[in-house]
Amino acid sequence: MIINKLRISSILIAFVAISCNKSSNNTTTTTATVTSEDSVVIEVDPRYFLAAGLTESITKVNQTLADGSTVMCYKIVSNNTPSDHVQGPWCPTNINDGIDKGGIWFEGGKLYDVDGLFIKNLATFYSNTTWNLYNSATGAINVTDTKAACEAAARPNVDPMYKNYCVQCLPSYFPGIKKIYYIPVKPVKSKYTITIMGMGGVVGLAFNGINFDPPAPTQAILGAYTLAPFDDAGGHVNGATGYHYHAATGKSTKIKQSDAHAAMIGYAMDGYGIFENLDEAGKQSTDLDGSRGHYDTKRGYHYHVATAGSNSFINSFRGVPGSFSVSF
């Protein structure tokens, strides 16, 4: 049942912004290794961002980072609507629905189509007969189909009424979201490696204005016998930050490289580039450090995302991250 189309979405998780003025409570630090890999440092290129995903022109402003330094940052304001791909679907509505009616799920590092048959077979898939998300007489699947239902089912303490539900929140439930990112124009290497923890802010930004998020709390979701599928582009919606990604699946805008290197898909919050997992020959880089980054003279230091089924992008920030906030 491993998918032949890539779709990932995320569960609705609590939002914690990375503060530009103080360290996040959801990060830990370890001493970074000093290297000579900074002879080439590539600045953020604002031309890569799609204008259709922004509410205003990108500007430069001085910002104080978490380490107390003041640097020039790009202020990027997103309208939280991808212009380069469709959003959803997430939950099928009947056990007879095909893969075009639902999203995907990951388990054990693998991706699975969330079609009707997948929902029907969850008790077998998880070896637990408590799973039962559908009406055996009609085949109808329990789906959160209102804003109130999505909010009740998506919170950490799932409302008992919505156990054994397929959880989805639609973008239309949370209109008018604006996301503001401050990303250093030129990456500033940190004295420490800042480890990305679950539910600890934002990892980075895709060129369409959608944020890359930390790992989704899948165990909390499964503990309530709910399933919160992901869409083809690796995104889903929550009430705190709207639509966001939990995996890179190749659907968002990418910048092809001239040397067959993996394509670029966005920037981390510290200003270093984020690239796909595989190069054009389908190979992974074998020399990545603990942050999932490495260096070359064309791209400077940069990151490569983990595989889509891993529920992560990168492991830590090499540089000092900027900040992120959201308004409705």
In the chain, where the domains are located: 27-85+181-216+253-321
Q: What pLDDT is stored for residue 192 in this prediction?
A: 85
Share of the chain above pLDDT 70, in %: 88
The residues, any chain, with a CB within 8 Å of residue 18's CB and separated by 6 or more, are: 24, 27, 66, 200, 201, 202, 269, 321, 322, 323, 324
Cα torsion 203, 207, 211, 215: sign: negative
pLDDT at 206 over 90: yes
Helix, strand, coil: what percent of the chain each, to 5?
Answer: 10, 30, 60
- pLDDT tens digits for range 60-118: 999 998 788 999 999 999 999 999 999 999 999 999 999 999 999 989 899 999 999 99
How does DSSP assign 103-131, residue by residue? -EEEETTEEEE--HHHHHTHHHHTT-TT-
Say what percent of the chain tops pLDDT 90.
75
pTM recorded for the entire structure: 0.87
Is the pLDDT at 175 greater than 50, yes or no? yes
Q: Which residue has the higher pLDDT, 198 or 58?
A: 58
Q: pLDDT digit string (tens) for 245-275?
A: 999 999 999 999 999 999 999 999 999 999 9
Of residues 205 and 2, the one with the higher pLDDT is: 205
DSSP 263: P
Kindly tell me if the per-residue pLDDT of 28 is higher than 80: no
- Res 218: pLDDT: 80
Q: pLDDT tens digits for 297-313?
A: 999 999 999 999 999 99
